[in-house]
Homo-oligomer: A and B are copies of this chain.
Amino acid sequence: MSTQHSELRVGMVGYEFMGAAHSQAWRTVNRVFELPARVRMATICGRDAGKVAAAADRLGWDAYSTDWRDLVASDDIDVVDICTPGDSHAEIALAALAAGKHVICEKPLANTVAEAREMTAAAAAAQAAGVRSMCGFNYRRVPAVALMRQLVAEGRLGVLRHVRAAYLQDWIVDPQFPLVWRLQKDRAGSGALGDIGAHIIDLTQYVTGQRITGVSAVTETFVKERPLPGGSSGLAAQADGNGRATGAVTVDDAAVFVARLDDGALATYEASRFATGRKNALRVEINGSLGTVAFDLERLNELEFYDATRPTAEQGFSRILVTEAEHPYLSAWWPPGHIIGYEHSFTHQMRDFVEAVATGADPTPSFADALQVQLVLDAVTRSAELGSRWTEVEPALAALPV
């Protein structure tokens, strides 16, 4: 029965949080969705041999490697899945594309606009040869988010007036939380801005079908010095009151900005790791002349929809439980009311990626879409440096190869 399926042999780089989430998705995708290709979890890659071997065993990969160049060079790999910190995205992706591998790369696409432009150009060039690439803004595949996009696209919200987006977490509120790689600019590029701010930039542009044209921003690092994590003493420049080695936090703890969309809507964005009690609160509300949608990732099976064209006495925010077969992705899962979780967004992402690759289509979001997000991040950073001055988002077109 499976003989008629083609096979996609995946090599994944990285085995931490994102590596585990992607593994769960690769493992599940053919078990739930009918797809034209079968995924093989071929090789997992990481620098620490012991850890990557253990990860291969636990997560269910056929083999492991300690050098991502092995994946790029191998004839037995069709897809390279990049789950590493942002500072290595460009190098791996460029090599993989050059070797004719399809690439799926975690967000943000890169740590700098220059890298993102180079990756986008490489993807465009490879695309001519049938090589596919995609950036992993997985929240696009949350069914309620896809439903939001449908409602906006169908005109149910009318003219958009406001976007209100926040991604709030609280995992570094404690000043004693250590200086992990996500708090170091050379590894992560930026802090809350690129890690979670990038998600709400992409998500709102995706849902509205519009782009952010300009921003006014403020960023902040509330805790400027943190203890070094065990084994990272190489970084230490100072010691705290308890004699422990500390290092400087070189990224933002929070970023807030006001923005404009193409058609004039006014938008606010906030990304913070200091919002006590908010664990993974990606919240988006969009107000249009005919209606409003509101979403919260902590209740990702629900979408609130206010339809202002209904009779006045019946208008209200409808809590749509997005678990019906009529909703995006859900006919493959459980009966109505049986909710899904965070990890399903990755399974849906892999579903769409596999289908695109197997049918010769380009998956989305493309590297070009991800570059656009990078350009917004860049404008935010520049505005914050310039006393919040209104700053236009640089056009992406300049990046395309002539």
Closest Cβ neighbor of A340 among chain B residues: B341
Bound CA–CA A216/B257 (angstroms): 9
Interface residue A248 (Cβ < 8 Å from any Cβ of B): no
Interface residue A206 (Cβ < 8 Å from any Cβ of B): no
Stretch at the interface among A109-117, A275-283, A355-363, A368-376: A275-283
Interface residue A379 (Cβ < 8 Å from any Cβ of B): no
Interface residue A208 (Cβ < 8 Å from any Cβ of B): no
Bound CA–CA A97/B388 (angstroms): 42
| Chain copies in complex | 4
User: Which residues does chain B contribute within 8 Å of A161, judged by CB atoms?
Assistant: 173, 222, 254, 272, 274-276
- Contact with A318, one of B169, B318, B323 (Cβ below 8 angstroms): B318
Hey, what's the 0/1 contact readout for A299-320 against B, CB within 8 Å counting as 1? 1110111111001111111111
Closest Cβ neighbor of A219 among chain B residues: B266
Among A264, A268, A341, A387: residue with most chain B CB under 10 A:
A341
- Contact with A298, one of B256, B268, B321 (Cβ below 8 angstroms): B321
Among A169, A256, A339: residue with most chain B CB under 10 A:
A339
Bound CA–CA A274/B28 (angstroms): 33
Stretch at the interface among A76-84, A227-235, A237-245, A289-297: A289-297
Q: How far is the CB of A181 from chain B (nearest CB, A)?
A: 15
| In contact, B319 and A316 (Cβ under 8 angstroms) | yes
| In contact, A335 and B276 (Cβ under 8 angstroms) | no
Among A58, A276, A342: residue with most chain B CB under 10 A:
A276
Bound CA–CA A311/B164 (angstroms): 27
Interface residue A54 (Cβ < 8 Å from any Cβ of B): yes
Bound CA–CA A304/B259 (angstroms): 29
- Contact with A59, one of B2, B31, B266, B338 (Cβ below 8 angstroms): B31
Interface residue A327 (Cβ < 8 Å from any Cβ of B): yes
Interface residue A352 (Cβ < 8 Å from any Cβ of B): no
Hey, what's the 0/1 contact readout for A13-30 against B, CB within 8 Å counting as 1? 000010001011001101
| In contact, A1 and B53 (Cβ under 8 angstroms) | yes
| In contact, A336 and B276 (Cβ under 8 angstroms) | no
| In contact, B216 and A308 (Cβ under 8 angstroms) | no
| In contact, B256 and A308 (Cβ under 8 angstroms) | no
Bound CA–CA A314/B305 (angstroms): 8
User: Which residues does chain B contribute within 8 Å of A87, judged by CB atoms?
Assistant: none
Interface residue A180 (Cβ < 8 Å from any Cβ of B): no
Hey, what's the 0/1 contact readout for A150-170 against B, CB within 8 Å counting as 1? 000000010001101010111
Interface residue A270 (Cβ < 8 Å from any Cβ of B): yes
User: Which residues does chain B contribute within 8 Å of A173, judged by CB atoms?
Assistant: 161, 289, 308
Bound CA–CA A220/B300 (angstroms): 32
Bound CA–CA A32/B216 (angstroms): 43
Bound CA–CA A220/B287 (angstroms): 15
Closest Cβ neighbor of A328 among chain B residues: B313
| In contact, A31 and B27 (Cβ under 8 angstroms) | yes
User: Which residues does chain B contribute within 8 Å of A399, judged by CB atoms?
Assistant: none
Closest Cβ neighbor of A50 among chain B residues: B1
Interface residue A60 (Cβ < 8 Å from any Cβ of B): yes
Hey, what's the 0/1 contact readout for A321-340 against B, CB within 8 Å counting as 1? 10110110000001111111
| In contact, A314 and B318 (Cβ under 8 angstroms) | yes
| In contact, B389 and A171 (Cβ under 8 angstroms) | no
Name A's B-contacting residues (CB within 8 A): 1-2, 17, 21, 23-24, 27-28, 30-32, 34, 53-54, 57-60, 147, 157, 161-162, 164, 166, 168-171, 173, 216-218, 220, 222, 254, 256-258, 260, 264, 266, 268, 270, 272, 274-281, 287-292, 297-301, 303-308, 311-321, 323-324, 326-327, 334-344, 387-390
A-B contact pairs, 8 of them (CB 8 A): A161-B173, A161-B275, A171-B336, A217-B258, A276-B292, A312-B324, A313-B320, A318-B319
- 4 closest pairs, A vs B, by CB? A279-B337, A280-B337, A277-B306, A216-B388
